Amino acid sequence: MRQAATAPLAFPPLTEQDAVRSADRSRVHEARAGNRRWWLLWLLVGPGILAMLGENDGPSMLAYASDGAQYGLGLFVPFIPVLFALAFVVQEMAMRVGAVTHRGYGELVLQRYGAAWGWFAAADLTITNLITLIAEFVAIRVGLAYFGLGSLVAVALGLAAVLFTFSGGRYWRWERIVLGLALFNGLFLIAALLSSPHLGGASSAGFSHLPGSVNTLLLLLASTIGATVTPWMIFFQQGASADKGMTPRDISEGRWDTAAGAVLAALFGLGALVAGAALLGHGGITAFSQADFPGALGHVAGGAAASVFALGLIEAGAVAILTISASTAYAAAECVGVAHSFNSSPREAVLFYAADFGVAALAAVVILIPGAPLLSIALNANVLATVLLPVSLVFLIMLANDRGLMGRNANRRSTNAVAITVATLVGACGAAYGIDSFLQTIGVVSS
Amino acid sequence: MSEQEEELIMHLERDQFVAETSRPVARVSLTPLGRAGLWALRVFAVAVSGMVIYAFAAALR
């Protein structure tokens, strides 16, 4: 990659998007030239933390808390960090491909391997994102219900957040607003401290509390994997890294960003797990009663823990709405081949912003339908993401190994070994659950 | 291009310009085995998704 400053002076036509991105890059150049490492890191963090904390979304945090309430801490305390370590491997690849090629995942798959594969990937993403977004609005509603507020407030809050981040027509501004909101994911850690579970008992419960049914165990594994690595994260981090203007020189900082996101997400996820474990030995909580998880926590751990947990759910849902909608917008606009950047104004990138708001609005409409099976949708959102993830992962591994695109930044053997293991593990887990559920449903095997 | 504009964009790498990223990257041809593998993965994903959705819908009834 050659710096424009040293290139021949035949510059391509300049757009507003170039000018805005260059202004952001000038600060990165100054920080690097001045050897101001912490400032440089501050300028370059964002996509990694947002992808990881965005995945600590409403359904994921409810799933962690429910796992803690039903099974204790034993299995999950090591399992969650391991999953986020695997998520780091996947997301680092997405960041690296975005920084080297300056292109999003959707457009690269479409251009490199053909339109059919690009559109398949975008369709998978749109379906899983729509279902997940419904689940995010459900999570906000569950959080708001603790404070006596209803679905309309949840819808208004979620959509207002999307519109608010649009103002300014700058990626930097969008990223910093969402990053500021995402740090409130730490509320789950505070909820854990306030709920004061008996850690000894919850830990020793461990494996003895695992579900007896194979299908329930598979559901547990599939939904927990789906709570840490999903297709939207790949689309988002690669698209956001390109949109931010990252280059191969920034890969090291991009790795720190992704690692910080993984550590924070694992910590906050464990917070939700520990808060949920306060209910262990108090009858636990069934999947259905997740609708009143904060209320149940309030009975056992007090109003403060419940309020903080409810606020955490509102935050987790809101941030995920912002990041997941953004990933849909990147995918849709990239595949159509039109402007796909937060550095463009809504007038210049109509489809991008329309897809961003439209998918969130569509999900919002669903939660207003009376009698819709919202909690069941929320619980199955992560499972469907797990089932569709292997396809996205295989294309990401192919792109990251493509020396024609990546040059010396292509994957190493060790990265490939871990990435292929993740794809195989996720595929096997999703398939096992899907096939077992189907066979049970048609009565071939007993539950 | 004016001096001011040149100064404005000097911090971008050449292949970061919108004009450059708008140009599609070259397509690679997959081997027959690679293409078959990708189609198998696609069929697998659709089939398992269908099973999950069917089981989910049946559980609602």
Name all domains of chain A by residue range, CATH numbers in brackets: 34-441 (1.20.1740)
d(CA A356, CA A163): 9
Report residue A341: phi and psi, to 5°.
-150, 140
CB A422 within 8 A of CB A392: no
Put simply, whether A15 touches B (Cβ < 8 Å) is: yes
d(CA A11, CA A13): 6
pLDDT at res. B7: 63
Query: Per-residue pLDDT for chain A (447 aa), expressed as one digit of tens each?
Result: 444 444 445 667 788 888 899 999 999 999 999 999 999 999 999 999 999 999 999 888 988 888 888 888 877 888 888 889 999 999 999 999 999 999 999 999 999 999 999 888 888 888 889 988 998 999 999 899 999 998 899 999 999 999 999 877 799 999 999 999 999 999 999 999 998 766 665 555 555 556 666 667 777 777 677 667 889 999 999 999 999 999 999 999 999 999 999 999 999 999 999 998 888 766 555 544 556 788 888 888 889 999 999 999 999 999 999 999 999 999 999 999 999 999 999 889 999 999 999 999 999 998 888 877 776 777 677 778 888 888 999 999 999 999 999 999 999 999 999 999 988 888 888 888 888 888 888 887 766
How many angstroms separate the Cα of B53 from the Cα of each of A91, A197, B56? Answer: 27, 36, 5
Residues facing B13 on adjacent strands: A3
Cβ contact, residue pair A380, B52, below 8 Å: yes
B16: amino acid identity, one letter? Q
d(CA A400, CA A93): 6
Which tens digits make up the pLDDT trace of B1-60?
A: 566 666 666 788 888 898 899 899 999 989 999 999 999 999 998 998 899 888 888 887
d(CA A191, CA A265): 15
Q: What kind and span of H or E run contains B53?
A: helix B32-60
- Interface subset of A 374-433, CB within 8 angstroms of B: 376, 380, 383-384, 387-388, 390-391, 394, 402, 404-405, 427, 430-431, 433
- Interface subset of A 348-377, CB within 8 angstroms of B: 373, 376
Structure tokens at A309: 């947990």
Sign of CA dihedral A9, A14, A18, A19: positive
Cβ contact, residue pair A112, B28, below 8 Å: yes
Distance from CA of B61 to the nearest CA of A (A): 11
Put simply, whether B43 touches A (Cβ < 8 Å) is: no
B chain contacts of residue A384, beta-carbon cutoff 8 Å: 49, 52-53
Cβ contact, residue pair A102, B52, below 8 Å: no
pLDDT at res. A287: 43
Classified as helix, coil or strand, A3 is: strand
Sign of CA dihedral A398, A402, A408, A413: positive
Pick the closest to residue A61 from A317, A283, A384 (CA basis): A317
Report residue A393: phi and psi, to 5°.
-65, -40
Contacts by residues A364-373 (CB-CB < 8 Å, ≥ 24 positions apart): A364/A137, A364/A155, A364/A158, A364/A159, A366/A134, A366/A137, A367/A134, A367/A137, A367/A138, A367/A141, A367/A151, A367/A154, A367/A155, A368/A151, A368/A152, A368/A155, A373/B60
Angle between helical axes of A303-336 and A105-113 (0-180°, round to 10): 30
Classified as helix, coil or strand, B13 is: strand
pLDDT at res. A432: 84
Cβ contact, residue pair A22, B11, below 8 Å: yes
pLDDT at res. A5: 45
Q: Which of A330, A377, A387, A436 to mutate to test the interface with B (most CBs of B within 10 A)?
A: A387
d(CA A62, CA A57): 9
CB B12 within 8 A of CB B18: no
Q: Which of A1, A2, A9, A14 to mutate to test the interface with B (most CBs of B within 10 A)?
A: A14
d(CA A97, CA A88): 14
Work out how many CB contacts closer than 8 A connect A with B: 142
Cβ contact, residue pair A11, B17, below 8 Å: yes
pLDDT at res. A4: 44
Q: What is the model's pTM?
A: 0.90
Pick the closest to residue A188 from A82, A294, A52 (CA basis): A294
Q: What share of chain A is helix, strand, coil (3-state, %, to 5)?
A: 80, 0, 20
Pick the closest to residue A224 from A325, A440, A78, A122 (CA basis): A78
Q: What kind and span of H or E run contains A78?
A: helix A76-101
Put simply, whether B23 touches A (Cβ < 8 Å) is: no
pLDDT at res. A323: 97
Distance from CA of B36 to the nearest CA of A (A): 13
Structure tokens at A108: 């690269």
B chain contacts of residue A402, beta-carbon cutoff 8 Å: 28
Pick the closest to residue A47 from A343, A225, A256, A337 (CA basis): A256
Residues facing A3 on adjacent strands: B13
A chain contacts of residue B29, beta-carbon cutoff 8 Å: none
Structure tokens at A380: 């199955």
d(CA A304, CA A131): 31
Cβ contact, residue pair A22, B21, below 8 Å: no
How many angstroms separate the Cα of A32 from the Cα of each of A43, A44, A99, A250? Answer: 10, 11, 17, 10
Tally Cβ neighbours within 10 Å of residue A9.
7
Sign of CA dihedral A270, A271, A272, A274: positive
Residue of A17, A117, A434 with shortest CB distance to B48? A434
**Which residue from A minimizes the CA distance to B48?**
A434
Put simply, whether B11 touches A (Cβ < 8 Å) is: yes
d(CA A349, CA A369): 31
**Exposure string for A362-399, b = 16+ CB within 10 A, e = fewer:** ebbebbeeeeeebbebbbbbbbbbbbbbbbbbbbbbbb
Q: Which of B4, B5, B20, B25 to mutate to test the interface with A (most CBs of A within 10 A)?
A: B25
CB A422 within 8 A of CB A400: no
Cα A281 to chain centroid distance, Å, stands at 31
A160: amino acid identity, one letter? A
